[in-house]
Structure 1
Amino acid sequence: MSLIELENPNAPISVHFKMDGPAFTDGIPIHLLTDSLSDFQSLLDKTYLGLTQRKRLSRDDRSRYYLLSKGIKHGSAETDLGVILTGIQTAFPFFSALGPTGLWEYAKQSFDFLKFVYSAMKTGNQPTYTWSGDNSQFQVNTGTQTNIYNAPVFNIGQMSVNNYVSLTKPIEEKIVDYVVFGDSDLGTIKLDASNADVFSLPSQIETTPLKLRCEIFDFNKFENIGKLYVHPGEAAKEGDYRFQVIGDQNTTQYIEAMLRKQVAVNCLREIAPNPFSPEKIVRFQVISIEP
């Protein structure tokens, strides 16, 4: 894997997006389009966060960095997305050496990194990692192959996995044939039937309940799923997680919980093998909620 070298990092770039398949026969299903564009926005957001070593985007960040659609083409879901960075060099001077091109290159390399380590897991090989003396690079050994990557790729990749899983779902359901970002000049991030299942590792639900203090910041009342943030010092590592409400519960309380900074949930961990550690929490299966 070649390391990232940039000739003209601050040149403006436009990332081509296209998604096609049976779902687009009679038009563009808005939910597929918005979900996919949202996932791509999130992928670049996490690349930005990984490079700036931040946990969340602020309103100030969003005013400096965003994507700009240049019109939707019909027949499939297709558009060009300009990567806009304005005044960011003032807040993060090192970004002058990265620019829009660097942001895109790190997103691509993170995708290649994820495919590499998850493909190894599929064949039963747990990747191992070795860092350079100055921590600017890391080496991945799967037992059969070794690749070297720039250091930020490690965290960017971990943060991005769930968005790639989300992008592959319509492909696995056979309503979308492929999703591609980029072109022959910029290089591409492409998901299709040949790699849609690469991020899917078998999971299992534990039987020992946990109580976690958390903040619920997203909930879908139709599917009984959402997202929560686990506070520091809990039985799970601090961070954002997906969750699913199980059993016959009144889901209104989960909607109301989004108005609070903190609630307690009783839940079960759903875990899966993980290329970055012995196991990964896929989601929490929530048994009940407390104020």
Structure 2
Amino acid sequence: MQEQSDNKQPLFYEIIGPAVLKERIPLYEVIGTLREYMNIIDRSYLTLTGKDRLSKKEREKYKIIAYEFNPGSLHIDLAIELYEIVQLVFPFMMPAGATGLWDLTKSSYNFVKTVAKLRAGGEDPVIQEDNSIQSYIIGDNNKIMVNPSISINSDKIEESVQKIGSFISPGAVEQVALKDMEEDGISITEEEKRLFNPETTISEDTETIVVKIYRLDIESKKGKLYILEGMEPKDIPFQIIGDQAIGPYIDALKADQLKVNILREMAASLTGKPYLKRVLLVGFPGIKPNQGKLF
């Protein structure tokens, strides 16, 4: 493994399971999971730079390099490398450089997993952002204080974590991991697959609720909103579905509140208790959604 420095964070990737042999590597699973791990670190980098996309010029400043492929249960030595001085805005008391980028990535994953575990256990966490916290703290009554950078980044990486879980298959691929020298990182097994990919059902009838949209990722059409009226007040993830134009939702970020038509996406917790996983935005009141183009 490479030596750690301010501009280099050594890591290793590992995929384990009966389908992974010394002379036979399942490329589909390896390429797919490596791509999503890179997406997770890319999104963490973008969170720290405050940018939406990685340009070609930005790629010259930051790369993930593979150094050595060790056969067996496929093990690849990697490193996050920063080649130029990059303006990264790190959370309070978090290390700078490549180590800080990796710390944000790990903390975001651990935060996502913590929230998912609480919801899977039938609990509904109350999340509050706080700039004075380095990572996140779980308080009484499932109240979680979290640094805003970690909260924002966790929304960005959750889809990639779910995609990595989709490659787990008992009897074939049993574990995929990206870790550092302390064996700390993002490890996905059947347990995490079930946690991040619960079976869901979508309501048949649309509802109109009043919300405040405060976060929107234009590329994925996902974000966060706060429910003001029509349902229990809470922060909840959303997904804009169908072939709707993104413009009205970008404009909605400026509004203190607005009415939206939604479908509920419900998931079953590990205890069997159903919970609201997210809301699907199908349009605005007065504009009839084209049901044939929603999914």
For the superposition of Structure 1 and Structure 2, which TM-score range results when normalised by the shorter chain? Answer: 0.5 to 0.7
Over aligned residue pairs, what C-alpha RMSD do you find?
4.2
Matches of 1:108 and 1:81, distance apart in 2: 16
Contact 1:117 1:142 survives alignment (8 Å)? no
Q: Deviations over 1:76-109 (max 9, x none)?
A: 32211111112143x4476996211011111111
List gaps (5 residues or longer) in structure 2.
Answer: 207-217, 221-241, 254-261, 269-274, 283-289
Question: Secondary structure, in 3 states, of the residue corresponding to 1:171?
Answer: coil
Pick the aligned partner of 2:10 from 7, 14, 26.
14
Residue 70 of structure 1 corresponds to 67
- Which amino acid is the alignment partner of residue 73 of structure 2? S
Aligned residue pair count: 239
Matches of 2:143 and 2:249, distance apart in 1: 36
- Which amino acid is the alignment partner of residue 181 of structure 1? L
Question: Secondary structure, in 3 states, of the residue corresponding to 2:51?
Answer: coil
Residue 151 of structure 1 corresponds to 148
Classify 1:112/1:86 alpha carbon distance in 2 versus 1 (closer, same or farther; 3 Å): same
Pick the aligned partner of 1:54 from 39, 48, 51.
51
- Which amino acid is the alignment partner of residue 231 of structure 1? I
Classify 1:137/1:67 alpha carbon distance in 2 versus 1 (closer, same or farther; 3 Å): closer
Q: Deviations over 1:193-249 (max 9, x none)?
A: 33331112332234468xxxx989xxxxxxxxxx989623149989xxxxxxxxxxx
Matches of 2:188 and 2:219, distance apart in 1: 32
List gaps (5 residues or longer) in structure 1.
Answer: 1-7, 217-226, 239-267
Match status 1:35 vs 2:32: yes
Question: Secondary structure, in 3 states, of the residue corresponding to 1:153?
Answer: helix
Matches of 1:71 and 1:88, distance apart in 2: 26
Given the two structures, how large is their TM-score scaled by the length of structure 1? 0.66
Match status 1:232 vs 2:234: no
Pick the aligned partner of 2:265 from 245, 257, 271.
271
Tell me whether 166-175 or 57-66 shows the greater mean CA deviation: 166-175
Residue 83 of structure 1 corresponds to 80
Matches of 2:267 and 2:252, distance apart in 1: 16
Matches of 1:75 and 1:158, distance apart in 2: 34
Classify 1:187/1:235 alpha carbon distance in 2 versus 1 (closer, same or farther; 3 Å): closer
Matches of 2:189 and 2:117, distance apart in 1: 15
Classify 1:152/1:93 alpha carbon distance in 2 versus 1 (closer, same or farther; 3 Å): closer
Matches of 2:133 and 2:245, distance apart in 1: 28
- Percent sequence identity over aligned pairs: 19
